[in-house]
Amino acid sequence: MLTVKQIPVLNDNYIYLIHDSVSGETAVVDPAIAEPVQKILRERNWQLSCILNTHHHSDHVGANLTLKKQTGCQIIGSHYDKNRIPGLDRTVSEGDSVFLGRHKASVIDTPGHTLGHIVYYFSEDNFLFCGDTLFSMGCGRLFEGTAMQMHHSLNKLAALPLTTQLFCAHEYTQKNGQFAQTLEPNNTQLHQRITEVAQLRQNNIATVPTTLAQEKATNPFLRSHCPELIHTLAMHENSRVEIFTETRRRKDHF
């Protein structure tokens, strides 16, 4: 069984420690800063085996070199980012696998936010570490990729089992929900989710992980097919990609 420890850092980042109690191996996903990771490792007497980077942005790789120097851990990241991720030891792409003990994570290419963005999917555990590709009720900005690339990447993730737990890299849920409501004001599941999120944040409780089922019911970036969203955008004759593109454009200016 895998244990996931969520570590809030900076303004709204999440770092994730993943520990396999059988093998004793521990991975950290997207370590922005080192000290909080080191603290949890010491408290739990866990040994860091590897770093799993989803992309090259500094708020996801900032502690790579410090943690590698201290622990000798292996740094794993996208082949595309081989010259952009500090200390990278092993490059991976879609079709490759990463093991933590006997637990296998499949690598999925998800270009859009960046061109080299990847996610790690532990299918047996129902865990998806999705970085900045998919957020609770949102998705990442298109800093390097195109809307078509991001739409395709999100469709890949939307095809995973509904029970998949999504470990997103940022706490953006409340603002994302406010935007989603402008597109689907009559979505009752969205209203319920927004209320739940407000209560969680009022108590400084994380809104992630979320589930794919929740996201398919409330996340506008997975709902380009939904009649109310299409009606709000007045895009009845447009393709799914065009609808997604307009949704992303509006979110950028929200």
pLDDT single digits (tens) 227-238? 999 999 999 999
Would you say residue 1 has pLDDT above 90?
no
pLDDT at site 125: 96
- Please answer whether residues 2 and 16 qualify as being in contact, where contact means their C-beta atoms are separated by less than 8 angstroms: no
pLDDT at site 41: 98
Would you say residue 166 has pLDDT above 90?
yes
pLDDT at site 162: 98
pLDDT single digits (tens) 239-250? 999 999 999 999
pLDDT at site 26: 98
Q: Strands 165-168 and 127-131: what pairing?
A: parallel
Q: Quote the CA–CA distance of 95 and 59 in Å, as a whole number.
A: 26
In this structure, which amino acid lies at residue 160? Answer: L
Find, among 204, 205, 156, 210, the residue nearest to 180 by Cα.
Answer: 210
119-254 classified as CATH 3.60.15.10 = yes
pLDDT at site 243: 98
In this structure, which amino acid lies at residue 39? Answer: K
Q: Give residues with Cβ within 8 angstroms of 105, minimum separation 6.
A: 52, 97, 98, 99, 120, 121, 122, 129
Would you say residue 208 has pLDDT above 90?
yes
Task: Outline which parts of the chain fall under CATH 3.60.15.10.
Answer: 1-92, 119-254
**C-alpha dihedral, 191 to 152 to 163 to 119, nearest 10°:** -110
Q: pTM of the entire structure? A: 0.97
CATH superfamily of 1-92: Ribonuclease Z/Hydroxyacylglutathione hydrolase-like (3.60.15.10)
**Catalytic residue IDs:** 55, 57, 59-60, 113, 132, 170
